[in-house]
């Protein structure tokens, strides 16, 4: 009896500490004990085990049909016997007869221990999976543990995550115990617990960081419309608000750059350009090429292409180091962008004009020749 009470106390403690329902554990124990009954009764199809939630007492019951003449004692009970024990039941009905074996308490204790250990593992794995599955496509804080080949093991509290080589920023180097923010790409349920893949390169990491740092982004006042990122180097982000009293860029930058600088520090110095979003592709492209100044933008919406003219002294700035500024602007806007300086544009225009004049002169000479031939005839 004391063992039974100790069992209930242990289950209550497990429920409290590990957040695993006592009812789930009791149900698993009952199912396991039904299987154990096969050894005693030969079959357990009509056997039920009940564990009292308060006392831990274990009772075994068999479903038996009330019949005139018993042919199978395991599944039937005579009408005469049933009338004595179950006076409200009649012929053909099913009654539950207690058949708890004398030594069943010892069997139950052994099985209970096995089931509890196994069920705790299963439930812990399920709880962890559900907990982190809810964080999929969100950011988490992790502590760097160790390098495993080219991958990094990150401790997220109750479980470890894997930062693969492909999801690492090439310029970043971490030491054990470093605390870093990560974007959760995927959470998979495995027999060894949830397998969590995280990223430091994903553009959504930047978006989630702004959501956590900027109240206007979190509450939806400011909307992040588009992000283009080359992890570890530079990010361009287009923001928008329908509230005329809110400056979306200013909200993201913060007073004296406090908000954006906090995110830059988290990204280990990655530069972040924040621009105003516009439904007008020409305006959006001009904004996207910031900090370069733009003279004019010609847009072809069907071809999703644009021709941009910039001052001569702004050409290198507009293109950026190794073409980065133009490349990010193209990804941010979804347009193929051809950037020319004013002198290049003039040169092209002059060349076109010269070609046009040459073509015109050629046509005139051809017409003159044809006229002379007609006169000769």
Whether the CB-CB separation of 196 and 162 falls below 8 Å is answered with: yes
pLDDT score at 152: 94
Q: Model pTM?
A: 0.68
User: Is residue 258, in this structure, part of any structural domain at all?
Assistant: yes
pLDDT score at 112: 67
Same domain, 364 and 286: yes
Dihedral in degrees, nearest 10, Cα atoms 227, 248, 326, 204: -10
User: Is residue 318, in this structure, part of any structural domain at all?
Assistant: yes
pLDDT score at 75: 84
Same domain, 16 and 99: yes
Same domain, 149 and 256: no
Same domain, 116 and 26: yes
Q: What is the CATH number of the domain that holds 52?
A: 3.30.1480.10
pLDDT score at 142: 95
C-alpha to C-alpha distances, 74 to 65, 66, 265, nearest whole angstrom: 10, 12, 74
Residue from 274, 295, 297, 293 nearest 285 by CA: 297
Range of the domain at 193: 136-199
pLDDT digit of tens for each residue in the chain (377 aa)? 556 677 778 788 888 877 778 888 888 888 877 777 766 666 667 888 888 888 878 888 888 888 988 888 888 888 888 888 888 888 989 988 888 877 676 666 676 677 777 777 787 788 888 888 989 999 999 999 999 899 999 999 889 999 999 999 999 999 999 999 999 999 998 888 889 999 999 999 999 999 999 999 999 999 999 999 999 999 999 999 999 999 999 999 999 999 999 999 999 999 999 999 999 999 999 999 999 999 999 999 999 999 999 999 999 999 999 999 999 999 999 999 999 998 887 765 455 454 555 555 545 555 555 544 555 55
Q: Three-state secondary structure along the chain?
A: CHHHHHHHHHHHHHHHHHCCCHHHHHHHHHHHHHHHHHHHHCCCCCEEEEECCCCCCEEEEEEEEEECCCCCCCCEEEHHHHHHHCCCCCCCCEEEEECCCCCHHHHHHHHHHHHHHHHHHHHHHHHHHHHHHCCCCCEEEEEEEEEECCEEEEECCCCEEEECHHHCCCCCCCCCCCEEEEEEEEEEEECCEEEEEEECCCHHHHHHHHHHHCHHHHCCCCEEEEEEEECCCEEEEEEECCCCCCCHHHHHHCHHHHHHHHHHHHCCCCEEEEEECCCCHHHHHHHHCCCCCCCEEEEECCCCEEEEEECHHHHHHHHCHHHHHHHHHHHHHCCEEEEEEHHHHHHHHHHHHHHHHHHHHHHHHHHHHHHHHHHHC
User: Is residue 210, in this structure, part of any structural domain at all?
Assistant: no
As for how many domains the chain has, the answer is: 4
Q: What is the CATH number of the domain that holds 193?
A: 2.40.50.140
Q: What is the CATH number of the domain that holds 301?
A: 3.30.300.20
pLDDT score at 2: 57
pLDDT score at 81: 87
Q: What values do phi and psi take at 343, rounded to 5?
A: -65, -40
């Amino acid at each position: 009896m004391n063992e039974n009470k100790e069992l209930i106390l242990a289950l209550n403690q497990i429920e409290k500490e590990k957040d695993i329902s006592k009812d789930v554990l009791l149900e698993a124990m009952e199912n396991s004990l039904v299987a154990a009954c096969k050894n005693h009764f030969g079959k357990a199809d009509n056997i039920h085990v009940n564990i009292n939630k308060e006392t831990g007492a274990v009772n075994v019951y068999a479903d038996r049909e009330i019949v005139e003449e018993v042919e199978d004692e395991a599944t039937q009970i005579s009408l005469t016997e049933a009338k004595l024990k179950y006076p409200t039941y009649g012929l053909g009905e099913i009654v539950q007869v207690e058949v708890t074996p004398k030594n069943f308490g010892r069997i139950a204790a052994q099985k209970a221990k096995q089931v509890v250990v196994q069920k705790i593992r299963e439930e812990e794995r399920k709880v962890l999976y559900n907990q982190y599955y809810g964080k999929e496509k969100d950011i988490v804080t992790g502590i760097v543990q160790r390098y495993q080949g080219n991958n990094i093991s990150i401790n997220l509290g109750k479980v470890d995550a894997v930062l693969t080589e492909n999801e690492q920023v090439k310029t970043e180097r971490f030491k054990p115990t470093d605390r870093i923010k990560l974007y959760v790409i995927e959470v998979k349920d495995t027999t060894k617990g949830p397998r969590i893949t995280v990223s430091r390169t994903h553009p959504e990491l930047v978006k989630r960081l702004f959501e956590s740092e900027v109240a206007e982004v979190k509450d939806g006042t400011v909307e992040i419309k588009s992000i283009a990122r080359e992890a570890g180097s530079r990010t361009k982000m287009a923001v928008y608000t329908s509230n005329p009293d809110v400056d979306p860029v200013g909200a993201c930058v913060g007073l004296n750059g406090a908000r954006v600088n906090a995110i830059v520090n988290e990204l280990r110095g990655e530069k972040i350009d924040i621009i105003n979003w516009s439904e007008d592709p020409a305006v959006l492209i001009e904004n996207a090429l910031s900090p370069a100044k733009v003279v004019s933008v010609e847009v072809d919406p069907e071809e999703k292409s644009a021709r941009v003219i910039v001052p001569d002294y702004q050409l290198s700035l507009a293109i950026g180091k190794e073409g980065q500024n133009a490349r990010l602007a193209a990804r941010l806007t979804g347009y193929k962008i051809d950037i020319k300086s004013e002198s290049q544009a003039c040169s092209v225009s002059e060349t076109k004009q010269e070609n046009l004049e040459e073509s015109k002169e050629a046509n005139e000479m051809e017409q003159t020749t044809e006229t002379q031939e007609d006169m000769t005839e």
